[in-house]
Amino acid sequence: MPRPMILVAPVVFLILWSAGFAIAKLGLEHAQPLTLLALRYSCVLVLLVPLALVLRPPMPKTARAWADVAIVGFLIQVVYFGLCYVAFKSGVSAGGVAIIVCLQPILVALAAPGFVGETVSRRGWIGLALGLAGAALVILGRSGIEAENAFGIACAVLALAGITGGTLWEKRFGVTHHPVTSNLIQYAVGAGFTLPAAWATESMAIAWNGEFVAVLAYLVIGNSLLAMTLLLAMIRAGQVARVSALFYLVPALSALFAWPLLGEAMPPLGWAGLVLAGLGVALVSRTRA
């Protein structure tokens, strides 16, 4: 990845990824979770297939390379996104899901030495701890810790395992592919699992209106194509623990987007958490293994 892109990519990724939570919540008012994901992934494929036919990007050369791309797609698109959406729909609060998912940088840092051969320095651990504390302040400031649905909590924990596993797998086994190639394979996997799951478990009813069309357009282009391409590129270009630390900023930035979109105001404690999480991410980003 060119150096200018390395500097800009984290900012663009955080904006696109964080806004997706509030926008997806709007989408869930019009469609059930797996139905929304299946439609989202199908629309991505409608855009990518003609593009692939025109560009003819190189495809993975071995069965193992195909499998590695598909595994990352399954862990992130199906396990992570699917179970997060189901957790929200089952009644788990945004704070409950966010505090669980924000453990991802810690899990990645713990697993990275053995799985991808990266270590985290003492300074890096301090940054990870600050990031987690800041994320927790944002969540506590917004909604507090409430009694949650047990099934939804289990879904959120499995979603955490999905995004952690996808990050580590991409770092260890992923190789550079044309973005159209990697996205095409991963979203084909996503649609291949979520479409039959939605058909089997949901009514697949959708309340079509202008708001839902706008939500779907953002989820397809901003979240699915741009944000995922940047995430995979950053994982390959940088240390996996440093890239994962960016997720500490997601709850805070999601809260900022939820303010105008959903009317959820950011309390003073949340602003303090935003600053603390930012300091933690900056500390991790400056650390070398």
Higher local confidence (pLDDT), 272 or 69: 69
Q: How many CB atoms lie within 10 A of CB 171?
A: 24
pLDDT given at position 282: 67
Closest CA to 24 of 265, 197, 185, 261: 261
Whole-angstrom CA distances from 170 to 67, 81, 239 are: 11, 17, 12
Mean pLDDT (whole number) for 24-30:
88
Residue 93, pLDDT > 70, answer no
Q: Could you give the CA distance from residue 161 to residue 248 in angstroms, rounded to a whole number? A: 16
- Per-residue pLDDT tens for 134-174? 767 766 665 554 555 678 878 888 998 898 888 888 877 76
Identify the residue whose tokens are 């189901």. Answer: 86
Return mean pLDDT, the chain.
80
Higher local confidence (pLDDT), 21 or 110: 21
Residue 34, pLDDT > 90, answer yes
Higher local confidence (pLDDT), 246 or 228: 228
Q: Could you give the CA distance from residue 94 to residue 118 in angstroms, rounded to a whole number? A: 32
pLDDT given at position 289: 39
pLDDT given at position 130: 78
248: DSSP letter: G
Tell me which residue range forms the domain holding 244.
Answer: 3-285
Mean pLDDT (whole number) for 193-202:
95
Residue length of the chain: 289
Q: H helices of the chain, where?
A: 3-27, 33-55, 63-73, 81-89, 94-101, 104-115, 122-142, 150-173, 179-201, 210-218, 228-237, 240-245, 250-262, 268-285
Query: What pLDDT band is residue 288 in, cutting at 50, 70 and 90?
Result: very low
Q: Which of 87-91, 181-185, 256-260: highest mean pLDDT?
A: 181-185
pLDDT given at position 286: 59
What is the domain count for the chain?
A: 1
Q: Could you give the CA distance from residue 287 to residue 239 in angstroms, rounded to a whole number? A: 10
pLDDT given at position 244: 63
- Per-residue pLDDT tens for 242-255? 666 677 677 677 77
